[in-house]
Chains A and B, each alone.
Chain A
Amino acid sequence: MQNQDGQPAEPETETISSLPTSEVNDWANYRDDEVMQQHSAIQAEEAGKIPFVGDKEPLSSLAEEYKSGNPILLEKIKVLTEQYAAIRRTRGDGNCFFRSFMFAYLEHILESQDRAEIDRITVNVEQCRKTLLSLGYAEFTFEDFFSLFLEQLESVLSGKEACISHEELVQRSRDQSVSDYVVMFFRFITSGEIRKRLEFYEPFIQGLSNTSVEQFCKSSVEPMGEESDHVHITALSDALGVPIRIVYLDRSHDDKGSVSVNHHDFTPAAHEVTDANTGGAVALEPFITLLYRPGHYDILYPK
């Protein structure tokens, strides 16, 4: 994410050359129908393979997947197995980061019954609502997504109404009318946060896609199915005040040939997670761990 000092020009030229501009222009010649058909065809194909949120699988299934694959990956999976017990796959439809985050977060609340966490995040959600309004979003365009998310939050906590079961949570996460709405809610949150802190995100976005912040949000954050990058993760984590650990499973290795699995903790900006009572920073050990393989996120379960 951070570039080395003193070479601001280089990544820029790099992104220019790597930008698939011709591809973008080609798209313009397709009719809406064709594009949509193509999209839904791809989606249908994906849907046949895996639900939005899969079942919990032992990590050995991951090793199985790479049985005859790259030895570095196999080595890394072995290292992962020492710390993690299971994986839950999500559909690779471009929404996998948000979908993984959704399930991991709601599952955490369901299991921990952490009322304080719900109260805390509700305050942040209200803040995000104000942010969107101040950015000029019409309330009717986002309110449904907000209320649906808050509904899900309430439903995983046993209180006034009977708390839903784990099975029910899985079912809801596979139900498009719930699942996609929560994903879209996170997209609104992310977009609002990026636009609000424009100066902070601008250099990262410039380095990533060489577009304006506005354009980035329009084409890479708010539309469904657009993949997430570290910019999205940083913004979502900051806006909601939820730390996220990403474990990277790729072919990288150091010069000595020894294999270690890297992870990065996205820790929300400190001022947003100070405890109201003590004034001190709240413990920020992430309770959400996602496994990143180039182009895709799944949920990881620590031992």
Chain B
Amino acid sequence: MAEDKYNLKNPAVKRILQEVKEMQSNPSDDFMSLPLEENIFEWQFAIRGPVDSEFEGGIYHGRIQLPAEYPLKPPSFMLLTPNGRFETQTKICLSISNHHPEHWQPSWSVRTALVAMIAFMPTSPNGALGSLDYTKEERRALAIKSRNAAPKFGSAERQSLINEIHEYMLSKALPVPEKKVVQTGNEENELEGQQIANQEDTETETQPAEDDEIVQEANGVPSNAHVAGEASNSVPANERQLLQKLETKVPKQADDRLLTWAALGLTIAIVVLLLKKFMKADGHGAVFLNQS
């Protein structure tokens, strides 16, 4: 990519190119991050809101700046998507995420830091600078909004990278599970609530989204469902239930057919037995026996 443009003798450049390669060869569903082609010390990233939190389903974009002394000095992170946990356009204080900058170590990487950031989202900000303490509802609303469009930021080249990352994340991240908390709260209304939730889900997706995005969603759901079957832990509740319904429907049809065949077989058996008995009682059987 940028091999010819940069001085490969520069240890930072060498390392960064290695990280790009590693990021591309081991892609994750939880995050994506790539440098700008014009400057490999400037990266864009997106992380997926952690499962089982109010950020679930959210796609949060941000930028990373790597210092000239990278990896001996830590990178700095900044979020661009409003999320209710970190201020946007402000350097994230990674020291609050156990990544004390004075304890930064070169064995960490952009990947490590992004994983840490995801894990850190649901924790309490404790009034730390650059942190926000929005309510769960507000954060969930922002999570839904975050999927609709990637943030607008920077040069055209950067924007196209942001959009590319957004498309990738949309194909990986499940939609925001709505009313999840309400569902677990009152079980009686669960079914109703779920139906409403599903309706709302489609509504919110439909209203502001562009046509191609709906197509994306439509494509996304079944493929996600397959993944969900394997790792049901990471699947939001209503998705899981939907999946179970699908699963139980298919075997039911097979069961019905089996039952029909069994009933038919039984009827035949009974008829045969009755005939036999009838023949015996009639003496026909005896006649046959005597004859032989």
Residues of chain A whose beta carbon lies under 8 Å from any beta carbon of chain B? 27-33, 35-36, 39, 137-138, 140-145, 148, 176-177, 180-181, 184, 188, 218-219, 222-226
In the complex, chain A residues whose CB is within 8 Å of the CB of B74: 32, 36
Residue of B22, B104, B105 touching A140 (CB-CB under 8 A) = B22
In the complex, chain A residues whose CB is within 8 Å of the CB of B53: none
In the complex, chain B residues whose CB is within 8 Å of the CB of A39: 102
Residue of A nearest to B92 (CB): A32
Residue of B22, B94, B96, B105 touching A222 (CB-CB under 8 A) = B105
Residues of chain B whose beta carbon lies under 8 Å from any beta carbon of chain A? 11, 14-15, 18-19, 21-22, 69, 71-74, 76, 91, 93-96, 100-109, 128-130
Task: Report whether A27 and B91 are in contact in the complex, using a CB–CB cutoff of 8 Å.
Answer: no
Q: How far is the CA of A223 from the CA of B93 in the complex (A)?
A: 18
**Min distance, Cβ A31 to any Cβ of chain B, angstroms:** 5
In the complex, chain B residues whose CB is within 8 Å of the CB of A31: 91, 93, 95, 129-130
Task: Report whether A148 and B105 are in contact in the complex, using a CB–CB cutoff of 8 Å.
Answer: no
Task: Report whether A36 and B72 are in contact in the complex, using a CB–CB cutoff of 8 Å.
Answer: no
Task: Report whether A144 and B11 are in contact in the complex, using a CB–CB cutoff of 8 Å.
Answer: yes
In the complex, chain B residues whose CB is within 8 Å of the CB of A226: 103
Task: Report whether B107 and A142 are in contact in the complex, using a CB–CB cutoff of 8 Å.
Answer: yes
If A140-B15, A145-B106 touch, does A224 touch B72 (CB 8 Å cutoff)?
Answer: yes
Subset of 5 A-B contacts with CB under 8 Å: A31-B129, A140-B18, A140-B19, A142-B107, A223-B103
Q: How far is the CA of A223 from the CA of B107 in the complex (A)?
A: 9
Residue of B14, B96, B101, B128 touching A36 (CB-CB under 8 A) = B101
Task: Report whether A33 and B91 are in contact in the complex, using a CB–CB cutoff of 8 Å.
Answer: yes
Q: How far is the CA of A28 from the CA of B96 in the complex (A)?
A: 6
Task: Report whether B109 and A138 are in contact in the complex, using a CB–CB cutoff of 8 Å.
Answer: yes
Q: How far is the CA of A221 from the CA of B31 in the complex (A)?
A: 29
Task: Report whether A180 and B93 are in contact in the complex, using a CB–CB cutoff of 8 Å.
Answer: no
Q: How far is the CA of A141 from the CA of B93 in the complex (A)?
A: 23
Residue of A137, A141, A177 touching B71 (CB-CB under 8 A) = A141
Besides the known contacts A35-B100, A140-B15, A224-B106, 8 further A-B residue pairs in the complex with CB atoms under 8 A apart = A28-B95, A32-B94, A141-B109, A180-B72, A181-B11, A184-B106, A218-B105, A219-B103
Task: Report whether B95 and A35 are in contact in the complex, using a CB–CB cutoff of 8 Å.
Answer: yes
**Min distance, Cβ B25 to any Cβ of chain A, angstroms:** 11
If A27-B102, A225-B102 touch, does A137 touch B107 (CB 8 Å cutoff)?
Answer: yes
In the complex, chain A residues whose CB is within 8 Å of the CB of B71: 141
Candidate in A27, A31, A188 with the most chain B CB atoms within 10 angstroms: A31
Q: How far is the CA of A180 from the CA of B130 in the complex (A)?
A: 32
Residue of B nearest to A181 (CB): B11
Task: Report whether A218 and B11 are in contact in the complex, using a CB–CB cutoff of 8 Å.
Answer: no
Residue of B14, B102, B105, B107 touching A35 (CB-CB under 8 A) = B102
Q: How far is the CA of A101 from the CA of B181 in the complex (A)?
A: 59
Task: Report whether B11 and A188 are in contact in the complex, using a CB–CB cutoff of 8 Å.
Answer: no
If A32-B94, A32-B101, A177-B11 touch, does A138 touch B22 (CB 8 Å cutoff)?
Answer: yes
Task: Report whether A35 and B22 are in contact in the complex, using a CB–CB cutoff of 8 Å.
Answer: no
**Min distance, Cβ A299 to any Cβ of chain B, angstroms:** 23
Residue of A nearest to B9 (CB): A177
Q: How far is the CA of A143 from the CA of B11 in the complex (A)?
A: 11
Task: Report whether A32 and B19 are in contact in the complex, using a CB–CB cutoff of 8 Å.
Answer: no
In the complex, chain B residues whose CB is within 8 Å of the CB of A148: 11
